[in-house]
Amino acid sequence: MGPVSTTFSRLYGRRGWIALGAFGAVLFIVIPVLVLAVPPGSTFHVSQYWVTLIGKIMCYAIVALAMDLIWGYAGILSLGHGLFFALGGYAMGMHLMRQIGREGQYQADLPDFMVFLDWKELPWHWSGSDQFWWAMLLVVAVPGLLAYVFGYFAFRSRVKGVYFSIITQALTFAAMLLFFRNETGFGGNNGFTDFKRILGFAIATPETRVALFAITGAMLIGTLLLGRYLVTSRFGRVLAAIRDAEQRVMFCGYNPVHYKLAVWTASAVLCGIAGALYVPQVGIINPSEMSPANSIEIAIWVAVGGRGTLAGAAVGAGLVNGAKSFFTQAFPEYWLFFLGLLFILVTLFLPNGVVGLADRLRGARRA
């Protein structure tokens, strides 16, 4: 076996690859065909509503994977991951705003909200935003740099556990307040919306939707495989060792600061990418994405799915958000109660989440 094939067989066993292949086939073949090729009258037709919903949930699943890398493996609970997601979304949103061109309400060169504020030219941080490559760079660099700088000081000062979680929560809250202000130049509480085009394609056509959906699916699978690679490498074993006995790791000669910083920054970048994929599909980004509750919800997805399992985290994001879209339509006022109850029940009875439950059932059947 060559090194490449051993790397693949290290990531998942036969059944894992088959499951992943089936998932990919549904994402890249079945759903696109049902949306684009099957006529709208047919019972097999899948509407754009579902494409958007599943696409959105897949973005959340990427965030859950990023969260599981730092929480499940490195033992760092972030309650501010919504910030990195939103920053990626804003970077993409700025570009989409520029792509509107003169088709806005005011038919001006500037985005509508700037005309409304009576601004005469673009603020400095909008320069370059008309270029797609620049927007992509910001999607990765802004969350990455912020996470790196924040993490450098936090980890070097050995801020840990609940203190770290609280600081991340404060960080996202502060950013939310900043983005709410009109002067910051991010559209205030309305954020960005009414996008028209992406890379020249009309953003609302079924074809563009399916393309965004497929790209998100590919990113999700890519993130899962990257995560598996990381956690099955010696790097991943060092991370888990830091989680369980940081002192011993230091006295073995590893510097935990570097390891935490690496996985923390990577996690933030993944969130930024997820946010950038989310915005064109959902069609809006505003500061509420940075609200503390949003970030806490991310932790709940991972807890429900199963910490330290990767695939479980993605499944958790799917389950909770699937339930959310059902509940918020059927019983809108009860959703938050249900979410809180879910978190309590999972913590009490399913410490290893849904994946842990599945393992236990399988074990019981065998016994």
**Contact residues: another protein, CB under 8 A:** 230, 233-235, 237-238, 240-241, 244-245, 247-256, 258-259, 262
Query: Is the separation of the CB atoms in 77 and 84 below 8 Å?
Result: no
Q: Which is nearer to another protein, 109 or 244 (CB)?
A: 244
- In whole angstroms, the minimum distance from the beta carbon of 245 to another protein comes to 5
Q: Which is nearer to another protein, 144 or 187 (CB)?
A: 144
- In whole angstroms, the minimum distance from the beta carbon of 15 to another protein comes to 21
Helix (H) or strand (E) holding 198: strand 197-198
- In whole angstroms, the minimum distance from the beta carbon of 360 to another protein comes to 17
For residues 279 and 95, what is the distance between their CA atoms, to the nearest angstrom?
Answer: 11
Q: Which is nearer to another protein, 94 or 249 (CB)?
A: 249
Question: Which tokens sit at 245?
Answer: 């006995």
- In whole angstroms, the minimum distance from the beta carbon of 83 to another protein comes to 24
* Residues shown for the chain: 367
- In whole angstroms, the minimum distance from the beta carbon of 224 to another protein comes to 17
- In whole angstroms, the minimum distance from the beta carbon of 349 to another protein comes to 22
Q: Which is nearer to another protein, 73 or 213 (CB)?
A: 73
Task: Provide the b/e sequence for 166-178 (b: ≥16 CB within 10 Å).
Answer: ebbbebbbebbee
Residue type, 43: T
Q: Which is nearer to another protein, 180 or 235 (CB)?
A: 235
- In whole angstroms, the minimum distance from the beta carbon of 146 to another protein comes to 20
- Tell me which residue has tokens 């910490």: 307
Give the bridge partners for 192, in sequence order: 285
Query: Is the separation of the CB atoms in 275 and 92 below 8 Å?
Result: yes
For residues 263 and 267, what is the distance between their CA atoms, to the nearest angstrom?
Answer: 6
Q: Which is nearer to another protein, 26 or 159 (CB)?
A: 159
Q: Which is nearer to another protein, 310 or 317 (CB)?
A: 310
Q: Name 282's Cβ contacts closer than 8 Å, sequence gap at least 6.
A: 52, 56
Query: Is the separation of the CB atoms in 257 and 340 below 8 Å?
Result: no
244 by Cβ neighbours in 10 Å (0-12 / 13-18 / 19+) ranks as: exposed
Alpha helices by DSSP H, listed for 72-131, are: 81-99, 112-116
- In whole angstroms, the minimum distance from the beta carbon of 135 to another protein comes to 29
229: helix, strand or coil: helix
Q: Of 279, 272, 266, nearest to 229 (Cα)?
A: 266
Q: Which is nearer to another protein, 41 or 253 (CB)?
A: 253
- In whole angstroms, the minimum distance from the beta carbon of 19 to another protein comes to 25
Q: Which is nearer to another protein, 249 or 317 (CB)?
A: 249
For residues 80 and 165, what is the distance between their CA atoms, to the nearest angstrom?
Answer: 8
